Chain A
Amino acid sequence: MTVHEQFAEDLALYALGALEGDERAGLEKHLEECSACRRELQRLRGDLSLLAMSASGPAPPQRSRQRLLSAIAKEPRSAAATRSAPWWRAFEWLGALAAVAVVGLLLSQNTNLRRKLVSLQTELTNQQAELAQAKDVVATFTAPEAQQITLVSAKTPPQPQGKAFYLRGKGHLIFLANNMPVLPPGKAYELWLIPTSGFPIPAGTFKPDAHGSGTVVNPPLRAGIEAKAFAITVEPEAGSAAPTSQPIMVGAGE
């Protein structure tokens, strides 16, 4: 994929925060749809970080370090984590008020409601059918009794193999592994999403069954992360926040 030339200069200005008005709105709309231009924007920010490096100057005064450490000592992590809660409260109240308004509106439009109900019931039936089908698909991948057969060239001994199915927009991931070696006690395999830049992101742990097969289904991943590759390392059973050993398997996207 290549960057759309008509947006090339605007992307640089956008990265600098210098694009405004219609030009900015137009580019943001395009960025929602174009992964090549999103990627170029990230690279331009990388170029800006190089420019930032050129500012290298005197070290900050010692008092700044003390000021920061005193400030964080007054804000232990648990307190910091709870501070962001109150603004959600406002949304809860807004949500409740909105619900009351919607109920009132629906009561006054009873005929409409009945018509919509029929339509929703049809939609629900369709969705239930789709859901059942989706469950069947996932069960085929993940059920303990599901047979997993890997086909390889004749005369090739079985090799460890992993296959990741990743839906970036939703952050959904299904990973299937076969022929995995037996792990030492207290260890598990950990799957890592390697983003286009930055550190590996934990994407679930698994222990292979007696046949060497293992799965990871929808680990908690933020939607929208572009994956350059996936990798497997051997980690403590509880999983690690960052890899502590060399990857034993890696695979780039197709």
Chain B
Amino acid sequence: MEAKAGLSTSEAIGVPSDYVLVAGIRSGDENAMAQMYDRYSGIVYSVALRVLGDTGAAEDILQDVFMQLWRNPGAFDASRGTLPAWLSVIARNRAIDSLRKKRPESEIEDVIVSVEPDFASEADRKFALEKIRGTLSEMPAAQRTTLEMAFFEGLTHSEIASKTGDPLGTVKTRIRSGLLLLRKAFQT
């Protein structure tokens, strides 16, 4: 079994790990919140901007997501997954709710994200981004478009099928197999 309980490399060189920052936020440390923002505001903002296509609306989502973390840091505990993965999924869901002018459908406490790369450092994130873009560019165009319509436009499988003219079953299969391709890219 791997010993995950130890210190990370970044921590060893003086950069606090995510869980040290979350512990700080839990105790009301505003500086920890500022560091968390500096680390992950780019991911949250990019996702929101891609979904909403409007900088003002994306800034509102950014504010909303981090305020939720501040008000309710207990919503993110270790069992929720890695922080950047969790934040990016929360940001996407909030942005889609905003796009559809819906009240938030799921509580942030209900979202658990399990992912292989932990994006612990800026270098990890850059490496992951290249790999993800590479995997997406190798996908058949129809599959990539279907996946992006479902994720970034928040369209249901039925809406995608009626928009593209593809059979419903094909749309469902493309979504799942596309996600599995992304997963496979990070499996050794």
Chain A residues with Cβ under 8 A from B79's Cβ?
195-198, 201, 222, 225-226
Min C-beta distance of B158 to chain A, whole Å: 8
A59-B42, A65-B37, A77-B27 given; A17·B20 CB < 8 A: no
Contact A16 B46 (CB under 8 A): no
Could you tell me the distance between the alpha carbons of A184 and B66 in the complex, rounded to whole angstroms? 40
B85 touching A54, Cβ below 8 Å: no
Is A250 a contact partner of B5 (Cβ separation < 8 A)?
Answer: yes
Task: Convert A1-32 into 0s and 1s, putting 1 for each residue whose CB lies closer than 8 angstroms to a CB of B.
Answer: 00000001101110011101000000000000
Task: Give the segment of A128-136, A139-147, A175-183, A238-246 that binds chain B.
Answer: A238-246
A189 an interface residue at 8 Å Cβ cutoff?
no
Q: Is the CB of A243 within 8 A of B183?
A: no
Q: Is A211 an interface residue (CB 8 A)?
A: no
Q: How many interface residues does A have (CB within 8 Å)?
A: 73
Say yes or no for A39: interface residue by CB 8 A criterion.
yes
Stretch at the interface among A45-53, A101-109, A116-124, A159-167: A45-53
Interface membership of A229, Cβ < 8 A: yes
B141 contacts the other chain (CB 8 A): no
> Interface of chain A, helix or strand or loop or mixed?
mixed
What CA separation (Å) do A237 and B83 show in the bound complex?
28
Contact between B179 and A48, CB atoms less than 8 A apart: yes
How many A-B contacts are there with CB distance less than 8 Å? 240
Given contacts A59-B42, A68-B37, A75-B70, contact A13 B172 (CB under 8 A): yes
Known: A47-B182, A67-B63, A71-B67. A55 touches B78 (CB 8 A): no
Give the B interface residue count (CB, 8 A).
Answer: 88
Residue of B nearest to A51 (CB): B151
User: Is there an interface contact between B63 and A13, defined as CB atoms closer than 8 Å?
Assistant: no
> A46-B81, A51-B151, A76-B28 known; 7 other A-B pairs, CB under 8 Å?
A45-B81, A48-B113, A51-B132, A54-B136, A72-B70, A201-B79, A228-B1
Question: 23 A-B pairs, CB-CB below 8 angstroms?
Answer: A16-B150, A18-B156, A43-B183, A48-B92, A50-B182, A52-B91, A58-B46, A58-B49, A59-B45, A63-B59, A64-B63, A72-B33, A72-B70, A75-B71, A80-B72, A199-B22, A199-B78, A200-B4, A200-B19, A226-B79, A242-B19, A250-B5, A251-B1
